[in-house]
Amino acid sequence: MYQSIIIKPVLTEKMAILQERENKYGFLVSKNSNKLDIKRAIEKKFDVIVTKVGIINMSGKIKNMTMKSSGKTIRTKGARSSYKKAIVTLHKDSTIDYNESKAAS
């Protein structure tokens, strides 16, 4: 169940600070999941108690790219894909260790 909801954890400096100070963890999740689905998936996969789930819908951006090929300049446009991010707050006694999670499941 949770394999289709949780895509991957967000491992950035900002999330590391939130993990230490506020016990919050970030995950990229599927676009069609809701807060209850995310809460159940995190609790089942990592065996923790989730107190709050926040969702951020990130829209894809249009990017321009310029290349030079055999003396000519080529300009193209592309788009980054949209994604959904979840910030999960855990109970004060719960923590997530990414190395010790149910990796085989």
The residue behind tokens 């963890």 is 25
Report pLDDT digits (tens) over 37-89.
999 999 999 999 999 999 999 999 999 988 888 888 888 899 999 999 999 99
Q: What is the pTM of this model?
A: 0.80
Q: Which fold has domain 6-93?
A: Alpha-Beta Plaits (3.30.70)
Report pLDDT digits (tens) over 21-34.
999 999 999 999 99
Domain ranges of the chain: 6-93
What is 20-51 written as a DSSP string?
A: HHH-EEEEEE-TT--HHHHHHHHHHHH---EE
